[in-house]
Structure 1
Amino acid sequence: MKMVKIALFVVAIVASSFGSAYAAVNLEPINAFFNKGVSFVLKGDLWQPKDESGKPLTPIFYNGNNYLPVRAVAEALKIPIDYDADSQTIFIGGKPGEKRPIFATPMEIDNIYVTQSKDPNETMVKGKQFEEVLKIDQYGDVEFTIDRKFKRLLLDAAVISPGEHEVEFSLYNSGTAAGSAASTVLEKHTISPEDGIKQLTFNVEGLEKIKIHVQSPNLNPYIYARILDTSYFDNGNSAAKDSSK
């Protein structure tokens, strides 16, 4: 029997009515079939592709190939996917050049040990004035929901006076599917009071939600750490190293 090849069928959900000029140029009718006999195994487990509403999907069989909507496959593989209706472009793996400041990202803080501040006296860090900072004077957690849209977190941070100790910034996966892995440190970077403002680069590719835990490695009670509003998420090279500003 001839082996059936598997392909991905890029399906973009657009307006219900296409312009006649667009349809004439870009849409070509085909004769195809729903293949209800095929099944899928994803990473060793039986997998049922579903649409955004949770309805099961049946692959389309055409010209010797089975086709599935690319969104269903991308979601299953934890790959970000975006669609730009204006350019009729589907982005798989994140939009090139996309960048989002941390304060424009859905964020959760504990409001006891971590606080947001726009007070000019508190946003002056190492002689430079910022508009907004996260204050962590003892220790604390900050969580960001990024929905697998970014590859990197570039975190600008510093230890200010009277901080005397090194401070660790640790990355955790805090997504709902993390399970026991939520307690595993994915990356850890350290800042000293003498470092000035330092940029820490974390690889967040494939993660829906992350947690940054900030504390002294020696559990010293007061660290006076600041996370700055110049921090951002992007889709740059996740292999980049820390760099001092």
Structure 2
Amino acid sequence: MKSKNKWLLAGVATACVFSFSMGAQAAGSLEKIQANLNHGIKFILNGESWNPKDSNGAAVKPISYAGTTYVPLRSVAEATGAEIKWDNDTQSISISTGDQEATRQPFNTSNVSHVKTYTESGITNNVDELLFGETQYTSAFVVQGVNSANQGVTFKIKEGTKKIGISIGFKDPKGTNATYSIGTKTSTFATGSVNNGTVVTNTLDIPKGTTELILEFKGQPGANGKGYLLWDESWLEK
């Protein structure tokens, strides 16, 4: 992340705080203060509303103390691409804001999740339906009832994701094919077609702040296909 990325909060000077286990050796350096959680501050990240969260996904409110507003450093760093490390031996925090080597992670339950919508979609581990040719897949997002009316599966990716690679499959007992698109509610990142019983791949750059994506399929009239986003060969980079 380059230094030109800045946070602006109207009317306050802003500092950051970091949540970690300090250990007994830091007890002598602690000073007791009286501060207040500030529920009135709103955050804007790259033009979009953003709320800081802790490592468990719970909302974290900023703290106001002596004219300065403190926000959680790790939450801000992960949202803007910086790397944070805590050294318990030296009681020091390291912050790296330069270009970091991309870390690629396969899709799994810790970095992607299904979003329930009106469509008949979810996660499947049915190995019988996840056999494409001679390749056996083990997990996938799936949407059922794909026909000429668009059907999609909505899913969330980990905050701070910069790029994803996805494997898309389609099956229809009637042998028809389908087209697909992937993006957000307001933007389309990629489109393509997928034949019955086959898998295609896409690599997508993810705009900053994007955490929810929609993979949508459109089949033939009268079809009853299933569209898949296959986890085994899908990945994300931060």
The TM-score bracket by the shorter chain reads 0.5 to 0.7
Once the two structures are overlaid, the 10-residue window that deviates more, 163-172 or 193-202, is 193-202
Match of 1:200, as an amino acid? N
Aligned to 1:179: none
Aligned to 2:107: 101
Q: 1:106·1:144 contact (CA, 8 Å) conserved in 2? A: yes
- Give the C-alpha shift of residue 193 in structure 1: 0.3
Taking the TM superposition and a 5 Å limit, the aligned residue runs for 1:1-245 are 12-17=18-23, 19=25, 52-56=60-64, 58=67, 71=73, 74=76, 79-86=80-87, 88-92=93-97, 96-104=102-110, 105-110=112-117, 113-137=120-144, 138=146, 139-147=151-159, 149-162=160-173, 163-172=175-184, 183-193=185-195, 196-216=198-218, 221-230=223-232, 231-235=234-238
**What is the distance in 2 between the residues matched to 1:73 and 1:136?**
33
Match of 2:103, as an amino acid? G
In structure 1, the gaps of 5 or more residues are 1-5, 24-41, 61-67, 173-182, 236-245
In structure 2, the gaps of 5 or more residues are 1-5, 7-13, 30-43, 54-59
Q: 2:179·2:219 contact (CA, 8 Å) conserved in 1? A: yes
Taking structure 2 as the reference length, the TM-score comes to: 0.58
Decide which structure has the larger Cα Rg and report it: 1
Root-mean-square deviation (Å):
4.3
Which structure has the highest helix share of the two?
Answer: 1
- Identity %, equivalent residues: 8
Aligned to 1:26: none
**What is the distance in 1 between the residues matched to 2:222 and 2:83?**
44
Taking structure 1 as the reference length, the TM-score comes to: 0.56
